[in-house]
Structure 1
Amino acid sequence: MKITVVRPRDLGTTEIGRWRELQLTDPELGSPFLAPEFTLGVGRFRNAARVAVVEDGTRTVAFFPHERGPAGIGHPIGFGLTDLQGIVAAPGLDLDARALLRACGLGVWDFDHLLAHQAAFAPYHAARRVEPVMDLGGGFAAFEEEMRRAAPKTHKTIRYKERKLGRDVGEVRYEFASADTADLRRLMKWKSAQYTRTGRTDRFARPWIVRLVRYFHETGFGVLSVLWAGDEPVSAHFGLRHGTVMAGWFPAYDVRFGKYSPGMIGHLRLARGCADAGITEIALGRGGKEFKEGFKSREIPIAEGRVARRTPGAGLHWVRATPLNRARGAVLDNPALYKHADRALKTYAKLRGRTR
């Protein structure tokens, strides 16, 4: 096999077309995070973005989008923003992961949302988890009926609070695809406040992420949905769409309406909007949010781990990253620990706010 590493912008129409063909060979490759649009977008704002093009004879058989950091430390493309990672190739491709890293000039490649069934990386899994998915293949009515059966309390609560929101504030309506940049700025403001409130790192404090989100909104790869009550914007969601798949990305809401659970109302309205737009599934992303249990129809197995070669950079990365990843994994896998950690982060955020 021949492996050539290029910048995303150097991919031609033939390569992009082949990338799309390979996505069709495996249903799980339909994720927007594995679409060429995502890699091309990240490549506009991240100099470290690269794509390994794998050829077998005269035919391209795989694309490996990644980012290369100092000392040959590699990450998935858009690391920290992606809920699904992997190599874009037909199932059954016989590829040596370490040989791939060598060709890419990487000493290590770590992952935390890798498609678990990809054989090339299977020996390097450190932990396996799942990403919940809302299945809309049968239409919204069928999805809602299944939700009513599987999670009756959640569904009943959402519908009750939606009616109460309408009575207290104004008629509830949902805009599935807003092109208004003011709506996008508002969502990012809400989300930044949430990050600060919960003690998380504010992604929108990084200019390149703001520019990336704006770019996806402008090009239509990103879909901005807004929930309104009368003239009041209550919650919003910015997701990525590729074909019939929506990837949930940035949900946020106005805390003034928190008692109405606007995020949950918004997710149910999002499901209707997606079904009406021909989208058959919404990937909710990995995480400990309990509300996702009420929405999920199935799960995608994903894995966390690292592929490494014997290089100084790989050794340094192990020392710095592995203990932290293990601690984080233990928290994610234990609901009680997750609640304690979440509470501790919120307490820290409050104390930090008072100090400021």
Structure 2
Amino acid sequence: MRIEVIRPDELGESELRRWRGFQASTPTLANPFLSPEFTLAVGRFRAGARVAVLSDGDGVAGFFPYERHVLGIGRPIGAGLTDCQGMVAPADLEFDVRALLRACRLSVWEFDHLLAEQTAFAPYHAETRVEPVMDLSGGFAAYAEQARERSPKTVKTVRYKERKLGREAGEVTYTFDESDPAELRRLMAWKSAQYRRTGRTDRFAESWIVALAEHLHATGTGVLSVLRADGRPISAHLGLRTGTVMAGWFPAYDTEFAKYSPGMIGHLRMAEAAAEAGVTQIAMGRGGREYKDWLKNGEFRIAEGRVARASAGAGLHWVKGAPVRRARSAVLAHPALYARADRVLKTYARLRGHAGDAA
């Protein structure tokens, strides 16, 4: 197996066709986070973005997109923003994982949303979980019927709130693919406020993430959907789409309309519009939210772990990161712990806000 490491923008047209061919032939690889479009976009804004191209006697056998950080610490391309990671190649591709790291000049490669079916990395899994999916392959009507069977009260409540929203705020409309960049800026402002309100790190405080979202939206890989009442935007969602698969990414809403559950209304409207547009699957990202458990009607397995070579950088990385990973995994695996952690973060955010007001 030969391994050549290049920057994303050095990929040739034949390589891009091969990459898309792998995605087309293996359903789990069709996720937009594994697309060349996403890797190329991240490469525009991240200096450490690279792609290892694996070749054998028959030509290109796989692609390994990643980011290299200080001390040779490696992470998946767009790490921290992605819900699907791994090698773009047949699941049973055989290769030496540590030889791959040597070629990539990595002492460590850590992952948290790796496709669990990729057998070469199986010895390095610390744990596996499932990622929820909205399966629209049978059309929206079939999906909606399954949703009603799983949770008839929830569907009834969402539909009631949508009608109530229409009566009290004006006609409800939905745009599946909104092109106006001003609406993207509105979404990012809502999302930043949500991050601060809930005590999370504000992703959009990072200029490169803002630029990445804007670029993906402008080039069509990013699909911005907007729910309106009487023409006024009240919720929005930026997802990624390649082919027939969408990946949920950044949902947010105007808190003035929170009592109507605009996020849930928007998700159902999105599923309906996506199915009409030819989307057969919406990957919603790792669990931890009750609404995803209700919306899902499918799932696939992901893994968290790390591959390391003997080096000082790998040792330092383990000492710093292992306790945090164990704590995060424990919280995500237990709904009661997740709810408690969520309350603590929100309380912290409120206290931080009061302290800022006093200052």
Answer whether TM exceeds 0.5 for this pair.
Answer: yes
Matched, 1:352 2:338: no
Asked if structure 1 preserves the Cα contact closer than 8 Å seen for 2:178 and 2:223, the reply is yes
Asked if structure 2 preserves the Cα contact closer than 8 Å seen for 1:190 and 1:254, the reply is yes
Match of 1:66 in 2: 66
Asked if structure 2 preserves the Cα contact closer than 8 Å seen for 1:176 and 1:226, the reply is yes
Summarize the alignment of residues 1-356 of structure 1 with structure 2, pairs less than 5 Å apart: 1-356=1-356
Asked if structure 1 preserves the Cα contact closer than 8 Å seen for 2:173 and 2:231, the reply is no
What secondary structure, in the 3-state scheme, does the structure 1 residue paired with 2:25 have?
coil
Q: Which moved more, 1:226-235 or 1:35-44?
A: 226-235
Q: Tell me how far apart the structure 2 counterparts of residues 257 and 289 of structure 1 sit (CA, whole Å).
A: 20
Per-residue CA deviation, residues 61-118 of structure 1 (Å, 9 max, x unaligned), is: 0100000000100000000000000000012111121111111110000000000010
The TM-score with structure 2 as length reference comes to: 0.98
What secondary structure, in the 3-state scheme, does the structure 1 residue paired with 2:287 have?
coil
What secondary structure, in the 3-state scheme, does the structure 1 residue paired with 2:53 have?
strand
Q: Tell me how far apart the structure 1 counterparts of residues 139 and 25 of structure 2 sit (CA, whole Å).
A: 24
Say what the alpha-carbon RMSD is for the aligned residues: 0.7
Asked if structure 2 preserves the Cα contact closer than 8 Å seen for 1:127 and 1:305, the reply is yes
**1:342 Cα deviation after fit:** 0.3
| Structure 1 residue ranges, 4+ long, deviating more than 2 angstroms after superposition | none
Consecutive unaligned residues of structure 1, counting only runs of 5 or more, are none
Residue type at the aligned position of 1:268: L
What secondary structure, in the 3-state scheme, does the structure 1 residue paired with 2:131 have?
strand
Q: Tell me how far apart the structure 2 counterparts of residues 287 and 45 of structure 1 sit (CA, whole Å).
A: 28
Asked if structure 1 preserves the Cα contact closer than 8 Å seen for 2:287 and 2:293, the reply is no
Q: Tell me how far apart the structure 2 counterparts of residues 137 and 223 of structure 1 sit (CA, whole Å).
A: 19
Per-residue CA deviation, residues 245-296 of structure 1 (Å, 9 max, x unaligned), is: 0000000000000000000000000001101100001000003110111110
Asked if structure 2 preserves the Cα contact closer than 8 Å seen for 1:25 and 1:91, the reply is no
Percent sequence identity is: 65
Asked if structure 2 preserves the Cα contact closer than 8 Å seen for 1:113 and 1:302, the reply is yes
Equivalent pairs, count: 356
Q: Tell me how far apart the structure 2 counterparts of residues 171 and 20 of structure 1 sit (CA, whole Å).
A: 41
What secondary structure, in the 3-state scheme, does the structure 1 residue paired with 2:286 have?
coil
Residue type at the aligned position of 1:66: Y
Per-residue CA deviation, residues 325-356 of structure 1 (Å, 9 max, x unaligned), is: 00000000011110110000000000111111
